[in-house]
């Protein structure tokens, strides 16, 4: 069942991405995992190959592609066994804030570097005491002449260690309405008062850094505001449709990868005298998982069609995000059961991916938040 329509140019791009991942990424993934960081030099290699911000307009240094090019990059990375969340989050979640809301001079200044890999981005929303509840954030922004001053901290920031440019969400302490108090600003690496804390240790995605960030009298030009003052909450909400779709792409592709590797293992190792019993229980489990993965893929592809057409599918995207991320975690556990004790060692082809996808239920709003959003639209 073909829902997404890929052109011949898309298919050529897919082959290019597949070859790049095979020759430039996979040979070094194990080392990046040990180092717990993908080197900054790799970002430039990816940029030169056109894998960063592939839908960036030509006037900003891009190739003028569309969102399907971004989908292809995510799919091919994950199908190789490389979760690849850091570069795809940069391209499809972080940079779109600059492309959509920054004034023209900031677009000209930063977007070409975002595409080339010279400028790595991150977005800082989450705080120690304010995760999904953005209205409770405590990081402040106060005006002082033609500058603004930040004080506060952020946590669990993807690309926090390697980022050259940070999209920072902060609250005006003089505004009583928390939903009108948040604004977004660009903060460059090296700005006085901007300090990176520890690189956080995680159960998976070791090649993507996650960090704490601290701001003490951190001063940037007022001109670094993106969008309207006090419009931060609305901008964050407006971009969450695509962010949740991106997380859904990760989840569905990871599920397809895990299922494929498990089927290969089962067909080779199941049977009399072999490692795995060729039982009806295992057969039914694999059939059920294959059905769930197919359903998730069909729903995802239909949402991608609507999203690319500019339609509002916030509710449906929230449904797919919570269902697909729950599904891939459930599927990973069931597949590891089929591998038996072999599923607990590094050589198991799905073990690392099963760890990489654990936090997907939290990204872009927890799955509980997704259900709250859906319940609201259902008038429950």
Where are the chain's structural domains?
A: 8-118, 122-229, 233-377
Mean pLDDT, residues 76-103 taken together: 92
Q: Which CATH architecture has domain 8-118?
A: Orthogonal Bundle (1.10)
Give the range among 122-136, 162-176, 319-333 with minimum mean pLDDT: 122-136
Whether the predicted pLDDT of 73 surpasses 90: yes
Environment class of residue 244 by beta-carbon count within 10 Å: exposed (0-12), middle (13-18) or buried (19+)? buried
pTM over 0.85: yes
Q: Rounded CA gap, 372 and 369, in Å?
A: 5
**Known catalytic residue at 243:** yes
Q: pLDDT at position 235, please?
A: 94
Residue 110: alpha-carbon gap to chain centroid: 20
In 3-state terms the chain splits into helix, strand, coil percentages (rounded to 5) of 55, 15, 30
Q: What Å distances lie between residue 13 and 20, 70, 100, 193, CA to CA?
A: 10, 10, 25, 42
Q: pLDDT at position 184, please?
A: 98
Assign domain 233-377 to its CATH superfamily. Butyryl-CoA Dehydrogenase, subunit A, domain 3 (1.20.140.10)
Whether the predicted pLDDT of 275 surpasses 80: no
Q: Rounded CA gap, 93 and 68, in Å?
A: 14
Environment class of residue 333 by beta-carbon count within 10 Å: exposed (0-12), middle (13-18) or buried (19+)? exposed
Mean pLDDT, residues 58-77 taken together: 94
Largest CA distance in the chain: 78
pLDDT band at 271 (very low <50, low <70, confident <90, very high): confident
Q: Which residues have C-beta within 8 Å of that of residue 102, sequence separation ≥ 6? A: 110, 186, 226, 227
Whether the predicted pLDDT of 131 surpasses 80: no
127, 243, 256, 292: which one is catalytic? 243
Query: How much is the mean pLDDT over the chain?
Result: 93
Mean pLDDT, residues 111-119 taken together: 97
pLDDT band at 200 (very low <50, low <70, confident <90, very high): confident
Q: pLDDT at position 167, please?
A: 98
Q: pLDDT at position 68, please?
A: 97
In the CATH hierarchy, which fold is given to the domain comprising 122-229?
Butyryl-CoA Dehydrogenase, subunit A; domain 2 (2.40.110)
Q: pLDDT at position 42, please?
A: 94
Helix (H) or strand (E) run with residue 220 in it? strand 210-221
One-letter-per-residue 3-state SS of 296-314: HHHHHHHHHHHHHCCCCCH
Q: Which residues have C-beta within 8 Å of that of residue 31, sequence separation ≥ 6? A: none
Q: Rounded CA gap, 11 and 69, in Å?
A: 10
Environment class of residue 200 by beta-carbon count within 10 Å: exposed (0-12), middle (13-18) or buried (19+)? middle
Mean pLDDT, residues 11-29 taken together: 95
Q: Rounded CA gap, 337 and 276, in Å?
A: 10
Q: Rounded CA gap, 292 and 166, in Å?
A: 37
Alpha helix ranges (H) inside 309-365: 314-339, 351-356
Whether the predicted pLDDT of 205 surpasses 90: no
Mean pLDDT, residues 173-185 taken together: 93
């Amino acid at each position: 069942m073909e829902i997404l329509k890929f052109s011949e140019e898309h298919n050529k791009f897919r082959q290019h991405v597949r070859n790049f991942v095979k020759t430039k990424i996979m040979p070094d993934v194990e080392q990046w995992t040990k180092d717990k960081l993908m080197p900054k030099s790799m970002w430039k290699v990816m940029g030169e190959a056109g894998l960063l911000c592939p839908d960036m307009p030509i006037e900003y240094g891009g190739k003028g592609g569309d969102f399907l090019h971004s989908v292809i990059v995510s799919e091919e990375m994950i199908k190789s066994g490389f979760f690849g969340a850091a570069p795809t989050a940069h391209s499809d979640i972080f940079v779109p804030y600059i492309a959509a809301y920054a004034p023209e001079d900031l677009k000209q200044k930063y977007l070409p570097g975002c595409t080339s890999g010279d400028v790595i981005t991150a977005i800082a929303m989450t705080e120690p005491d304010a995760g999904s509840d953005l209205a409770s954030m405590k990081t402040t922004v106060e005006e002082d002449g033609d500058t603004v001053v930040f004080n506060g901290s952020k946590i669990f920031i993807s690309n926090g260690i390697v980022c050259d440019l940070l999209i920072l969400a902060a609250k005006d302490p003089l505004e009583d309405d928390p939903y009108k108090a948040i604004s977004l600003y660009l903060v460059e690496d090296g700005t006085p008062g901007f300090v990176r804390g520890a690189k956080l240790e995680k159960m998976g995605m070791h090649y993507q850094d996650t960090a704490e960030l601290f701001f003490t009298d951190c001063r940037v030009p007022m001109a670094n505001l993106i969008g309207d003052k006090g419009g931060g909450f609305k901008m964050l909400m407006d971009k969450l449709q695509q962010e949740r779709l991106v997380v859904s792409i990760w989840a569905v592709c990871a599920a397809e990868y895990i299922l494929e590797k498990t089927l290969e293992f089962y067909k080779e190792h199941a049977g009399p005298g072999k490692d795995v019993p060729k039982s009806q229980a295992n057969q039914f489990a694999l059939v059920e998982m294959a059905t769930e993965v197919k359903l998730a893929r069909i729903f995802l592809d239909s949402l991608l069609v609507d999203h690319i057409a500019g339609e509002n599918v916030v509710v449906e995207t929230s449904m797919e995000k919570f269902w697909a991320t729950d599904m891939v975690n459930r599927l990973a556990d069931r597949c590891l059961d089929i591998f038996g004790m072999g599923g607990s060692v590094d050589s198991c082809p799905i073990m690392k991916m099963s760890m990489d996808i654990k936090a997907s239920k939290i990204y872009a709003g927890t799955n509980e938040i997704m259900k709250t959003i859906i319940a609201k639209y259902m008038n429950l």
